[in-house]
Amino acid sequence: MRRLKPLDAAWLYVESSNSPMHVAGLQILSPPKGAKAGFLNDIVARFKEGSGKMVPPWNLRLVQSPLSGVLPAWEVDRNVDLDYHMRHSALPQPGGERELGVLVSRLHSHPLDLQRPLWECHLIEGLEGGRFALYTKMHHALMDGMAGMRMIQRAMSESPRNRSLSPPWALGRLKPREEEPRAASLSRRMNALYEAARRQASTLPEVARAMAKIWHTGKDADPGLVAPFSAPKSVLNQRITAPRRFATQQYELERLRRLARQADVTLNDIVLALCSGALRRFLQESGALPRRPLTAGLPVSVRPQGDDTLGTAISFILANLATDVADPRERLAAIRASTQRSKEHLQRLPKSSLDNYTAAFMAPFVLALVTGLGGRGRPMFNVTISNVPGPEKPLYFAGARLEAMYPISLLTHGQALNITCVSYAGTLNFGYTGCRDTLPHMQHIAVYTGEALEELERVFAGR
């Protein structure tokens, strides 16, 4: 039995029918040349070849006990029902991007069964040109985006000639964090709890100083940082319902990097500027653009190289999106200044303090969701925007080439839109997840992102 870290458990505390806390990945693949008619049926059959080889996190389920809602823990499920978790679907003709988006939106709207291992995998056939897709969702308490990318890489090959096939739940593993001492060893349990508490307590002074800076209080206040709850109210921050809408965009990485070099900013700054320009136009068209700038919550991976432990390993920073600035050059400069300052603030924290800092930083956000106040007052920030590094080389799955991969994220009350990007083989793939009812025309934001890119390219072309 393995207890969850507080941040991992928080994803379970805020779970509801309207805001399930799972994340997902969508991979679009082209079958190998000469693939037989039963190629996809063979993949499904081999996927379902017994659950005895299953490894964490795929075989972990929540312990069902009276205290599971307060102190959740994982246990190994030795009888995973693969017929339930692995599903085979087909798109209606003509099987285009629109039909795929409709199906994925529907699949992502439904919560996972909390009494089973918290994942589902859907193989979807019927895309134009014989292509197919894999949609895999997993609860955020089990993994973050970086861990998800590593699991995908382990299940695929860099060689198109490698036709071997092992399902991702049978390859490698995310390493469990140190398990609790056995109940019979009370002294070991008490010593472990004491040491954990001592280590956490030693970081509190540093965390308190960092929190004072970001909240603009005390002698260490830093007015250059974006403070939590300084975001304006907007249509992005209302209550949400269960149905989701999903949209995608894909851009050549070199195109974005060239623009970053011309503007003397980072690739992440360009991503934020594209999102800012798209959101500014989207809100402006409906007469809903706030006078004050929108702010973004940016998840930052703190997972060390080679760390494959279960759960999430992320912290957060806030950034000014400068949506109140009409000039795209000035808007980008304001974004650059904001992100630079926020990154410096986080990087000054010792690694030992990051868990406590993240828990303290996100506590008001989680509390608002637990108490039902999410989407009823001023938001902590307006939108979550994330950029996850993915595989740099083309990947193949049983000889099928991975053409594109898109992230699909979670929403909460007060956060009706999430924009997450994943890099892959020279491309940057944007996944836009929105609440269908709160933002009925959310897909326009995806289109406007491309137009924001063209606008910035015109601005810096003559530099």
Burial zone of 160 (CB within 10 Å; 0-12 exposed, 13-18 middle, 19+ buried): middle
Angstrom CA distances, 199 to 194, 313, 349, 360, stand at 9, 18, 15, 16
| pLDDT, mean of residues 363-386 | 90
Terminal Cα distance for the chain, rounded: 59
Of the given ranges (24-38, 231-245, 291-305, 434-448), which has the lowest mean pLDDT?
A: 291-305
Q: Is 122 a catalytic residue?
A: no
356: phi then psi, degrees, rounded to nearest 5: -65, -40
pLDDT one-digit tens code per residue, 201-233: 555 667 777 777 787 766 666 777 999 999 999
With bands split at pLDDT 50, 70 and 90, how would you rate the model's confidence at 458? Answer: very high
pLDDT of residue 67: 61
pLDDT of residue 48: 84
The domain spans of the chain are 2-170, 204-392+406-460
Counting every residue written for the chain, the total comes to 463
pLDDT at 24 over 90: yes
pLDDT of residue 182: 41
pLDDT one-digit tens code per residue, 111-141: 999 999 999 999 999 999 899 999 999 999 9
| pLDDT, mean of residues 189-199 | 44
Which of the residues 108, 140, 216, 345 is marked catalytic?
Answer: 140
pLDDT at 314 over 50: yes
Q: Assign 3-class secondary structure to the chain.
A: CEECCHHHHHHHHCCCCCCCCEEEEEEEEECCCCCCCCHHHHHHHHHCCCCCCCCCCCCEEECCCCCCCCCCEEEECCCCCHHHHEEEEECCCCCCHHHHHHHHHHHHHCCCCCCCCCEEEEEEECCHHHCEEEEEEEECCCECHHHHHHHHHHHCECCCCCCCCCCHHHCCCCECCCCCCCCCCHHHHHHHHHHHHHHHHHCHHHHHHHHHHHCCCCCCCCCCCCCCCCCCCCHHHCCCCCCEEEEEEEEEHHHHHHHHHHHCCCHHHHHHHHHHHHHHHHHHHCCCCCCCCCEEEEEEECCCCCCCECECCEEEEEEECCCCCCCHHHHHHHHHHHHHHHHHHHHCCCHHHHHHHHHHHHHHHHHHHHCCCCCCCCCCCCEEEEEECCCCCCCEECCEEEEEEEEECCCECCECEEEEEEEECCEEEEEEEEECCCCCCCHHHHHHHHHHHHHHHHHHCCC
Cα–Cα distance measured from residue 87 to residue 344, given in angstroms and rounded to the nearest whole number: 45
pLDDT at 32 over 50: yes
Helix orientation angle between 186-202 and 204-214, rounded to the nearest 10 degrees: 40
Q: Higher pLDDT residue, 103 or 356?
A: 103
* Overall CATH class of domain 2-170: alpha beta
Is the distance from CB of 171 to CB of 155 less than 8 angstroms? yes
Q: Higher pLDDT residue, 325 or 299?
A: 325
Q: Between β-strands 22-30 and 383-388, what pairing exists: parallel, antiparallel or unpaired?
A: unpaired
* Backbone angle region of 329, left / alpha / beta, with phi > 0 → left and psi within -120 to 50 → alpha: alpha
pLDDT at 306 over 70: no
456: phi then psi, degrees, rounded to nearest 5: -65, -40
| pLDDT, mean of residues 332-339 | 96
What value, to the nearest 5°, has the Cα angle with vertex 65 and ends 62 and 66? 130
- Average pLDDT, rounded, for the chain: 86
| pLDDT, mean of residues 352-356 | 76
Q: Higher pLDDT residue, 24 or 37?
A: 24
For residue 203, give every residue at least 6 positions away whose Cβ sits within 8 Å of its Cβ, in sequence order, or none.
Answer: 350, 352, 353, 356, 357
Cα–Cα distance measured from residue 258 to residue 247, given in angstroms and rounded to the nearest whole number: 25
| pLDDT, mean of residues 153-157 | 86
Angstrom CA distances, 221 to 211, 232, 249, 349, stand at 9, 21, 39, 15
- 2-170 and 204-392+406-460 have identical folds: yes
Q: Does domain 204-392+406-460 have CATH number 3.30.559.30?
A: yes
Burial zone of 408 (CB within 10 Å; 0-12 exposed, 13-18 middle, 19+ buried): buried
